């Protein structure tokens, strides 16, 4: 299947997932060496000076507009009709849906505060947690000056790890305590390795207990039938 097909976009913009969609789309067009058409760094050549170059630029820009239209839900397509370049389409969506406002940040903080592992596996919980965390930090980092960004990012790395560990089910308490009580608390990536191992150990233990509970009645029934 060609990567130019619309179904190459695993994330379709639906009005509420701009951050994830924009990230995915930027990676896609960057891989085509066409990101300049999206962010405006590659404007159209002057048609009077370079007619051939202008025509080629229009073809590439039309392809990107087709990708944008193919990666959004159908009810957004007519709204993009007035915009005749990829940059204008992109900027329109960014202006309307980019989640950089205080209300969205508050909502994400609320969702993160209430998020718990519940019945999710470690992997599924990590995915849910990171989706919220990535969007939240995108909003925070967008307003920071470059000189303060690296410090805040380092603080957030610690906060991210601690928040994730605190939201795990009680059956992971021993692993969590072991991780947090180390002289140098490891990164979240390292913590995940330990948690995956513990999760597998618990699954194996549960499987063995279930097999044992099934085996014992079978033995009792067999003995009873032999009397």
3-state helix, strand, coil in the chain (%, to 5): 75, 0, 25
Q: Which long-range contacts (CB under 8 A, 24 or more apart) does 176-183 make?
A: none
Return mean pLDDT, the chain. 87
Question: d(Cα 131, Cα 17) in Å, to the nearest integer?
Answer: 10
- Domain limits of the chain? 6-97, 102-208
Q: What is the pLDDT of residues 193-202, one digit of tens each?
A: 999 999 999 9
Q: What is the pLDDT of residues 138-148, one digit of tens each?
A: 888 877 888 88
DSSP 31-46: HTT-HHHHHSSSPPPP
Question: d(Cα 12, Cα 4) in Å, to the nearest integer?
Answer: 15
pLDDT at 76: 93
pLDDT at 112: 95
Confidence grade of residue 208 (pLDDT, cut at 50, 70, 90): confident
Q: What is the mean pLDDT of residues 57-77?
A: 94
Question: 146 exposed, middle or buried (CB, 10 Å; 0-12, 13-18, 19+)?
Answer: exposed
Question: 25 exposed, middle or buried (CB, 10 Å; 0-12, 13-18, 19+)?
Answer: buried
Q: Which pair of structure tokens corresponds to residue 214?
A: 């099934």
Q: What is the mean pLDDT of residues 87-114?
A: 86
Q: Is the pLDDT of residue 220 over 70?
A: no
């Amino acid at each position: 299947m060609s990567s130019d097909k619309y179904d190459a976009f695993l994330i379709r913009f639906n009005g509420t997932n701009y951050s994830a969609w924009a990230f995915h789309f930027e990676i896609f067009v960057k891989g085509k060496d066409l990101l300049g058409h999206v962010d405006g760094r590659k404007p159209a050549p002057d048609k009077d000076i370079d007619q051939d170059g202008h025509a080629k630029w229009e073809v590439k820009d039309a392809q990107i507009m087709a990708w944008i239209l193919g990666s959004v839900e159908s009810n957004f397509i007519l709204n993009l009709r007035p915009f005749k370049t990829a940059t204008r389409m992109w900027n329109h969506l960014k202006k309307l849906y980019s989640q950089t406002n205080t209300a969205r940040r508050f909502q994400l903080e609320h969702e993160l505060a209430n998020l718990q592992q519940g019945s999710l596996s470690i992997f599924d919980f990590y995915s849910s947690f990171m989706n919220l965390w990535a969007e939240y930090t995108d909003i925070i980092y967008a307003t920071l000056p470059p000189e303060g960004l690296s410090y805040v990012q380092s603080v957030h790395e610690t906060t991210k790890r601690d928040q994730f560990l605190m939201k795990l089910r009680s059956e992971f308490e021993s692993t969590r305590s072991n991780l947090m009580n180390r002289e140098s608390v490891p990164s979240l990536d390292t913590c995940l390795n330990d948690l995956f191992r513990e999760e597998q150990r618990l699954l194996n233990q549960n499987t063995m207990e279930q097999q044992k509970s099934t085996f014992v009645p079978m033995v009792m029934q067999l003995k009873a039938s032999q009397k």
